[in-house]
Amino acid sequence: MGFLKDERSNRALRGFKTIFFLVTMIISFLFFSAPILLAVADALLPAALLSASLSSPSAFSFFQTLNSHFSNYDFRYSLIDIPLVSIIRSAIVLCVYGMCDGPGLSRGPYLGITTVCSVVSLLFVSIKASYVFGGGSRGFTAADVALFVCSLSLAVAHVVVAYRTSCRERRKLLVYKIDIEAVSLLSTMIKILQFS
């Protein structure tokens, strides 16, 4: 009987260790791919919120509504530009992230361009929100408010993720630099000992 109890506890411990390992790996994957996942979410989420606020029963009438928003665009009332700003911001961030390597991610271009894009889109969305919600002439829905909050929070999230990515890359380069110095010092010492 004692042998079966030990086997069950070992099996449960092994199962717990496996689940812990899988959860840790998934969290690590999410942290590593955070810029890409955030850019995809930034492109899709505001567009989904806008389509929910337009809420047309069929695809044809949705496209008619979208076409009418484009043709009757007014900065003070139309919300069609909020998803467009998010898509452009995420496209720029993805392009810069894809073009930068370790030093580019750690020292500037990625963090700088992401910050500039996010600040510009924050200003645009803030000014747009003051026109849309400040006029009081038309009612707004919860989906409209969610669209603005989503766009603002995703812009801030881009800066946070870019900063965390640049810090991670800086740490990688620092460790790599230390290893290079250690290896070069070791090889120099070996050469000196060989000639002695």
Instruction: State the average pLDDT for the chain.
Output: 79
pLDDT at position 154 is 93
Residue 118 predicted with pLDDT over 80: yes
Where along the chain do its domains lie?
33-195
183 or 124, higher pLDDT:
124
Token pair 């389509």 is found at 51
- Running DSSP on this structure, what letter comes out for residue 16? H
Residue 97 predicted with pLDDT over 70: yes
- C-beta of residue 154 within 8 angstroms of C-beta of residue 125: no
Alpha helices in 55-108 (DSSP H): 59-71, 81-99, 102-107
Segment 22-27 mean pLDDT: 91
Residue 2 predicted with pLDDT over 60: no
d(CA 9, CA 15): 10
> Which range among 40-54, 62-76, 95-109, 117-131 shows the weakest confidence by mean pLDDT?
62-76
Segment 129-134 mean pLDDT: 81
> How would you label 128-141 residue by residue, b for 16+ Cβ within 10 Å and e otherwise?
bbeebeeeeeeeee
d(CA 155, CA 4): 56
Residue 63 predicted with pLDDT over 90: no
Tell me the C-alpha to C-alpha distance, in Å, between residue 2 and each of 7, 11, 14, 112.
9, 14, 18, 63
Query: 6 Cβ partners below 8 Å, 6+ apart?
Result: none
- Running DSSP on this structure, what letter comes out for residue 58? S
Per the rule left: phi > 0, alpha: psi between -120 and 50, beta: everything else, 55 is left
Q: Structure tokens of 19? A: 């689940």
- C-beta of residue 49 within 8 angstroms of C-beta of residue 141: no
pLDDT in tens, 5-19: 678 788 888 889 999
Residue 41 predicted with pLDDT over 80: yes
Cα dihedral sign for 79, 81, 85, 90? positive
Q: Which helix (H) or strand (E) holds 35?
A: helix 34-54
